[in-house]
Amino acid sequence: MKKCLPFLGKALLSGVLLVVPIYLAILLLLKAMASVAKLVRPFTLLLPEWLPAEQVLSLLLVLAVCFLIGVALLTPAGRSVRQWIEVNVFERVPGYALIRSLTRQLAGDSGEKAWKPALAEIEDALVPAFIIEELDDGRYTIFVPSIPTPLAGAIYILERTRVHQVDVPLTQALQVVTRWGSGAKTLETAMHRANNQQN
């Protein structure tokens, strides 16, 4: 039974992270199609009756708008506008920056500074943790997840000497948490390798 629980937790989390964004994207697409249906209604008269013209034209119009916005965001001006919106609107939403950083890390973006896997010294033990930010005085804000739920846990502010970054992908560190610590030896090996490189 103990071996089944980590698998069930990981499977559920993986399914939720895949299904929820797809579901929300489809919901938004259908809502957008319903919004533009009135605009395309005059053009539906030009098409055969057997064709679901209103839905097809609405979908094409929404996809065309998404494409044009995507092209605009690839320009220098578009990138500036996106960055301004992100900083002045989205980052004011509590948790947005952390969730964005987490999803980028899960997508393989190694340039992200938050959610860096680490081993933290708490009392007389090393515990799996994630570096959330570095403070101006050099200390770290770290998140220590609860086992086996990686998105619940405790926040600590620790001296830099008590936080050891480990050079492993975020997904591998999350697996250690969801598997009740199984695989933690890879984190410790990575910590010792990093310490040897610094010395």
Write the pLDDT tens digit of every residue in 136-149: 898 999 988 888 77
**Is residue 101 situated within a structural domain?**
no
Same domain, 120 and 88: no
Same domain, 67 and 146: no
**Is residue 98 situated within a structural domain?**
no
What's the CA gap between 26 and 115, in Å, rounded? 29
Backbone angles phi, psi at 139, to 5 degrees: -75, 165
pLDDT tens, position by position, 103-113: 666 665 555 56
R_g over Cα of the chain? 23
Residue where a domain terminates, one of 92, 125, 149: 92
Q: Give the closest residue to 175 by CA, choosing from 188, 184, 166, 167.
A: 184
Domain that holds residue 150: 116-198
**Is residue 44 situated within a structural domain?**
yes
What sign does the dihedral 97-173-131-11 (CA atoms) show? positive
Number of domains in the chain: 2
Same domain, 87 and 133: no
**Is residue 170 situated within a structural domain?**
yes
**Is residue 66 situated within a structural domain?**
yes
Same domain, 62 and 8: yes
Same domain, 88 and 28: yes
Q: Given this model, what pLDDT does residue 54 score?
A: 78
Same domain, 125 and 193: yes
Same domain, 76 and 127: no
User: Mean pLDDT, to the nearest integer, of 144-155?
Assistant: 81
Q: Given this model, what pLDDT does residue 156 score?
A: 92
**Is residue 110 situated within a structural domain?**
no
pLDDT tens, position by position, 35-48: 877 777 777 767 77
pLDDT above 80 (res 114): no
**Is residue 124 situated within a structural domain?**
yes
Cβ contacts of 158 within 8 Å, gap of 6 or more = 120, 121, 122, 139, 140, 142
Same domain, 148 and 192: yes
Same domain, 33 and 87: yes
Same domain, 10 and 73: yes
DSSP count for the chain of H helices, then E strands: 6, 5
Percent of the chain with pLDDT over 70: 74
**Is residue 156 situated within a structural domain?**
yes
Same domain, 154 and 88: no
